[in-house]
Amino acid sequence: MRLQDKVAIITGGANGIGKETALLFAKNGAKLVISDFDEEAGLAALQEIRNLGTEAEFVKVNVSNLYDVQQMVDAAVERFSRIDVLINNAGITRDGFLVKMDPTQWDQVVAVNLTGVFYCTQAVAKVMMDQGQGVILNAASVVGLYGNIGQTNYSATKSGVIGMTKTWAKELGPKGIRVNAVAPGFIMTGMTGKVPDKVLDSMKEKTPLRRLGQPADIANAYLFLASDEASFVNGAVLSVDGGLTF
């Protein structure tokens, strides 16, 4: 029970890493608000979380819509009166080589992965500043550290998330709010389901631990960073990638 009675918002909590993290947080005593674009999967995830005996809400949100984001924050405060943890997990890919990348592919990824993180953090930070405490965790990526062929848009947003993490750690640290990022390697979710097997096999070969990651590998990192065990960790980017560098 490492998060007993903490209130956590997890964006993109309906699937993949977000859902796995929500279930792990629930098992550790947290109360949850999961938000997602995907209402059907979100309501199914909500049921699984409630089946654990956890107090939880689902809010349908597009994180790149400022109005939706404020509704999400208001719903959390109305239901639980506080917000202890925000995980900016919602993210998308729209891959393509630089010279073929459509401006729409660029705009969509920036809107969700970068602007969405800014909107959610700004709205939640105001609540956390009034409380004098909180934890904000951002989904970065190894791609934001090292780049990746076909991911100009995605790598730009994930590098941007690292820049925002370090900036907010400095701005919000004096207010009692810790801000950190996790940089996952290749994790088996719907997102990597679109990647050809040949590419995944080659990623496995390049990973010293010789396997791809599971959502639980990332959920465990978020659990540590959200808990009081990480009370002196601020502005960090924790790589959880089996030692992959490329």
Which residues contact ligand NAI (rule: CB under 6 A)? Answer: 11-12, 14-18, 36-38, 61-64, 89-92, 112, 116, 139, 141, 184, 186-187, 189-192
Query: DSSP character for 96?
Result: B
Active site members: 154
Shorter beta-carbon distance to ligand NAI: residue 62 or 122: 62
DSSP 138-207: EE--HHHHH--TTBHHHHHHHHHHHHHHHHHHHHHGGGTEEEEEEEE-SB-SHHHHTS-HHHHHHHHHHS
* Minimal distance, residue 238 CB to ligand NAI, in Å: 12
Nearer to ligand NAI, 44 or 233 (CB): 44
CA distance 42 to 37: 8
- Residue closer to ligand NAI, measured from CB, 12 or 134: 12
| Nearest distance in Å: CB 58, ligand NAI | 11
Give 176 or 190: the residue with its C-beta nearer to ligand NAI: 190
**Beta strands in the chain, from DSSP E residues, in sequence order:** 7-11, 31-36, 56-60, 85-88, 134-139, 177-184, 237-240
Q: How far is the CB of 34 from ligand NAI (least distance, A)?
A: 9
Least spacing, CB of residue 202 vs ligand NAI, in Å: 14
